[in-house]
Structure 1
Amino acid sequence: MDYSREVRKLAKVLLAAMSEGLNLSSDALEKCLGDEFTQIFLTNYYPPCPNPELVLGVNSHSDRGALTVLLQDEIGGLEVFNEGNWFEVKPLANAFVINVGDETEVLSNGIYKSVAHRAIRKIGDVARITIASFCNPTLEAKIGPIAELTEVNPPLYKEHHFSDMVRYVRSRYYDGKSGLDNFKLPNKS
């Protein structure tokens, strides 16, 4: 419970800093997530594997919520996709990996980008453990580009409830695409 409370505090600090980075009030992003954003923990255990080159731990995906706070062990295995290539995220002792989620990309009207990532097995004879804390909007939260961010640039995404995103992503599992695909507005240029 202590860990959960501390990760929640960290998420609030990050959301405030990201709001200020958008030139908005420090509580702007958090307010958009509903009365109290939800927090879901997922612990992944990747057992020792005799042929790690034949195994993919988790397929490519982006996280559907607002932020993910990831604690990974020293083994590593997290990769992010950028400009057509996969890059390893090397573990740092006493550090978290923070992933921007799809709904933060929507709220920021594309200023903050969610990231495609995957988990691979690197070492065959050692187990790997990760703990992810997903900071998500409430299911009823209405998510769309924040109005102040669409005054100069038109909205890139349609407004929806977070439950719509959850339903859409669950229908596709991890197919390598972002949940954002279904919520993009047509390009008018």
Structure 2
Amino acid sequence: MSIFKEVFEKPNEYKHDLYPEEILKTCKMFSSTLKYECDKVHLWRDSLRHPAYPLEEWQHLWPEYPNTYRECVGNYSVKIKELGSRIMNLISEGLGLECGYFDNDNLSDSLVISLNHYPPCPDPSLTLGVIKHFDAYLITVLQQEDICGLQVLKDGEWIAVDAIPHAFVINIGCALQILTNGKLKSAEHRAVTNSDQARTTAAFFIAPSGDCFIEPTKDLIDEHNPPIYKSYEYKELLTRFFKKHGDMDMVLKSYEEEEPKD
């Protein structure tokens, strides 16, 4: 966490090359969102995002400063990937699927790191750190400081998620909701700001490969449990997801509207 914080504390000349001239840059730093100029209300955060698996494919594109970033975060991301695999195996067991089910067919081939830094905000009532959204992935492994900011929507109310030191928060993503045919639900969440303390978080997104098709798992479907989602190519689902600002209901609705009518 100290290295994650140091990334945002570096002078601007060190961070200049991380700001993308074009949105498809692999390792990128940005303020608010990637489309800052289009934001109606700017988010109160700085972010760094980059892929982390397979490590040898991406590590050389990561920040060169701090000097220990690539080595430390590389070792850490390997351990996070192992943790994610253990969690997915436990989910498989809980669903009555064979152990390792989600390790097959490129279903968990991707790991993306998203670092978010929320400086103290003079008036937290005017903006958020992150607007309400769902995660598009299988699961999110979130590392927080001991400063609260994460909230989850439940029964129409925003509930604060306690920041427990040395513990991870695990979010179910929309891809896993589709794969489990709605047996597991993705949680809508947001991040609020505060006027006193800076807050830094590290989110590790475990996701399918882009050309993988996401659809309800056949072992969870029968005459009593018909599929409630269609099949989606993951990279297309992800593109639509970001266009709809993380609103899964709008993403799925947009697919339905494109269905040919008899």
Could you say whether these structures have the same fold, taking a TM-score greater than 0.5 normalized by the shorter chain as the test?
Answer: yes
Give the Cα–Cα distance (whole angstroms) in 2 for the partners of residues 135 and 26 of structure 1. Answer: 17
Per-residue Cα deviation, 1:18-74 (whole angstroms, up to 9, x for no partner)? 011110101112325x17510000100011222123221101000001010000111
In 1: Cα distance, 2:184 partner to 2:211 partner: 22
From 72, 78, 83, the counterpart of 2:144: 72
Distance 1:182 1:110, change over 3 A: farther
Structure 2: distance between partners of 1:6 and 1:181: 37
Which digits, 9 at most, give the CA deviation of each residue in 1:130-165, with x for residues without a partner? Answer: 000001100011110000101230001001110121
Q: Distance in 2 between matches of 1:66 and 1:176?
A: 14
| Contact map agreement 2:108 2:207 (CA 8 A) in 1 | no
Relative contact order (C-alpha < 8 Å, sep 6+): which is higher?
A: 1
Query: How do 1:24-173 and structure 2 match up within 5 A?
Result: 24-32=97-105, 34=106, 37-121=109-193, 123-151=194-222, 152-173=224-245
Whole-angstrom distance in 1 between the partners of 2:136 and 2:251: 6
1-structure distance, mates of 2:250, 2:203: 18
Q: How many residues align?
A: 184
Letter in 1 for 2:88: L
Q: How many Å apart are 1:183 and its aligned residue?
A: 5.6
What amino acid does structure 1 have at the position aligned with 2:156?
G
- Cα displacement string for residues 105-138 of structure 1 (whole angstroms, at most 9, x for unaligned residues): 00011111101000001x3121110000001100
Instruction: Indicate the residue corresponding to 1:8 in structure 2.
Output: 81
1:45–1:130 Cα contact (<8 Å) kept: yes
Q: Percent identity at matched positions? A: 34
Which has the larger strand fraction? 1
Seen in structure 2, the aligned counterparts of structure 1 residues 12 and 175 have a Cα distance that, compared at 3 Å, is closer
Q: Deviations over 1:62-103 (max 9, x none)?
A: 000101000011111100011111100010011000000000
Give the partner amino acid of 2:233.
Answer: H
Which has the larger share of helix? Answer: 2
**TM-score, with length taken from structure 2:** 0.66
Q: CA RMSD in A?
A: 2.1
Q: Which amino acid aligns with 1:64?
A: A
**Greater CA radius of gyration, 1 or 2?**
2
- In the superposition, relative to structure 1, how do residues 180 and 130 fare at CA in structure 2: closer, same or farther (>3 Å)? farther
- Give the counterpart letter for 2:198 in structure 1: A
Partner of 1:23: 96
